[in-house]
Amino acid sequence: MRSIFFFLLSSLFSFLSYSQHLFSITGKVIDEESGKPLAYASVFLNNTTFGAITEEDGSFSFEANPGSYDLIANFFSYSPIIFKITIDSSFNKSYVLKMTPIQYDLKEISVESSRGKEWYDNYEIFKQNFIGTSKNSLNCEILNPEVLIIDFNHKKRTLEVKARDALIIENKALGYKIHYLLQNYTQDFSSGYTTFLGYPRFEKLIGKKGKKKKWDKERKRAYLGSNIHFFRSVCNGELDSEGFSVIEVIKKPNPNRPSDEEIKNARTKLRASVSNGLSLSSDSPARVTISQASNPRFINYTNNQLLKTSDFTHVKSAKTILAFENYLQVTFEKEYAEFAFKGKKDKTPQNTMLSLVNGPSEISQNGLLNDPLTVLYNGYMGWEKIADMLPTDYELLETSK
């Protein structure tokens, strides 16, 4: 089945050097109705290692670099709080975060309570497309799958997954424990599309010197060729030196593939002939049409001319805007694709096809999109999932050492 993925990380963070002054983020988390403090709630900046757990009196305090972030507060059985904050030289705020209990849908409770063979089968499908199937996924485990609400819609042929609390994912390959606040996951088996949206908080695992050295190596490997690496290279004008090449691709309908209507009519005719005891020859129009149904819908055309950053981006108010028609084929040339990606041992490059879904998209300097829904990844970047994900402050904390 064709697999195309949106990899969604809804956050914005200004990329600044780690040596800059850290600012304190403080506040208190309380129950909105009673006003009582909520102890052990999680408060963090999305997709970073910046965050804290509230004290007995509901208070929290942690430090972070200047920038714009999504601040998230999460507590079991309460609706999460998500809002944007900007930390700069004038930042001097303390937050009172009022949380409200979740009113669970009876259908969700019913789905959650039924965990037969189908639930576990669907859970394995979810893991493959959420955690991924890369080398790192072999050392990546969901520690609390019981919080998942998994529902397969047989009529729509979609797998939908939600979570009652943050998923706790231990990634022993990269040395992180990830607290992932899953908002939604939808896998459409008819179209081959999988989309998921969530808010991760990263926590470094504790290890000895040898283990930390191995994690540093694996983190660097995960970073190279990633979508964050690519977009940072775009913003810094370093595509070539960082190992990326970009060409424009135009997709045109394949003249050797019949239309969906023609294929449908041919199958109807074939079924009718079988039910009437008739046999159509292999060169009959209906069988020829059906034999061509497996041909690709589109053919890719390109002149193989390498694009410059200015060919697919422009700067507006000191912000980098991704804007292009057709498709971009992005190739990372400093590292080959993993064996698991193609299932064969050859020197396959890391190729990804990018397309814009909802028009131009702003890129932040740290390599994230202001609106992640605007870009569709088809290929290697889409294949890499949670098992290969790094916090957005990775470069600041790790590679600058």
CB of 334 closer than 8 Å to CB of 225: yes
CB of 150 closer than 8 Å to CB of 123: yes
- Residue whose C-alpha is closest to residue 204's, from 48, 90, 59, 375: 48
The reply to whether 247 and 348 lie within a common domain is yes
Considering 207, 242, 274, which residue would you say is the last residue of a domain? 207
The reply to whether 327 and 242 lie within a common domain is yes
- Residue range 271-298, pLDDT digits in tens: 888 888 888 888 899 899 999 999 988 8
The boundaries of the domain holding residue 288 are: 255-295
Q: How many domains does the chain have?
A: 4
Half-sphere exposure of 267 (CA within 13 A, CB side): 11
The reply to whether 175 and 319 lie within a common domain is no
- Residue whose C-alpha is closest to residue 45's, from 25, 66, 79, 70: 70
In a domain, 123, yes or no: yes
Q: 32: domain CATH number?
A: 2.60.40.1120
In a domain, 312, yes or no: yes
In a domain, 267, yes or no: yes
Residue spans of alpha helices (H) in 191-321: 209-223, 227-235, 239-242, 260-275, 285-291, 309-312
Q: Is the dihedral of CA 354, 357, 360, 361 positive or negative?
A: negative
CA angle 123, 124, 126 (to 5 degrees): 65
Average pLDDT of the segment spanning 185-214 = 92
Considering 99, 117, 149, which residue would you say is the last residue of a domain? 99
The reply to whether 234 and 338 lie within a common domain is yes
Pick from 18-22, 242-246, 344-348, 362-366 the range whose average pLDDT is largest.
242-246
* β-sheet with 51-53: strand ranges across: 51-53, 42-45, 67-74, 81-87
**The pLDDT of residue 78:** 94
Backbone angles phi, psi at 31, to 5 degrees: -75, 125
**The pLDDT of residue 275:** 83
> Average pLDDT of the chain?
88
**The pLDDT of residue 57:** 97
The reply to whether 238 and 356 lie within a common domain is yes
In a domain, 307, yes or no: yes
**The pLDDT of residue 172:** 97
The reply to whether 285 and 362 lie within a common domain is no
Average pLDDT of the segment spanning 353-381 = 86
Dist. CA 351–CA 84, nearest whole Å: 33
Neighbours of 147 (CB within 10 A): 17
The reply to whether 231 and 368 lie within a common domain is yes
170 alpha-carbon distance from chain centroid: 17
Half-sphere exposure of 332 (CA within 13 A, CB side): 24
- Residue range 87-123, pLDDT digits in tens: 888 888 899 999 999 876 655 555 555 678 899 999 9
The reply to whether 170 and 266 lie within a common domain is no
**The pLDDT of residue 273:** 87
- Residue range 131-149, pLDDT digits in tens: 999 999 999 999 999 999 9
Considering 41, 66, 99, which residue would you say is the last residue of a domain? 99
- Residue range 315-361, pLDDT digits in tens: 988 789 999 999 999 999 999 999 999 877 778 889 999 999 888 99
In a domain, 169, yes or no: yes
In a domain, 159, yes or no: yes
Strand duo 4-9 + 193-204: pairing: parallel
The reply to whether 315 and 373 lie within a common domain is yes
User: pTM of whole model > 0.95?
Assistant: no
**The pLDDT of residue 20:** 56
Residue 368 has pLDDT above 90, yes or no: no
The reply to whether 262 and 306 lie within a common domain is no
- Find the helix or strand (DSSP H, E) in which 381 lies: helix 380-383
The reply to whether 231 and 378 lie within a common domain is yes
In a domain, 285, yes or no: yes
The reply to whether 285 and 304 lie within a common domain is no
In a domain, 121, yes or no: yes
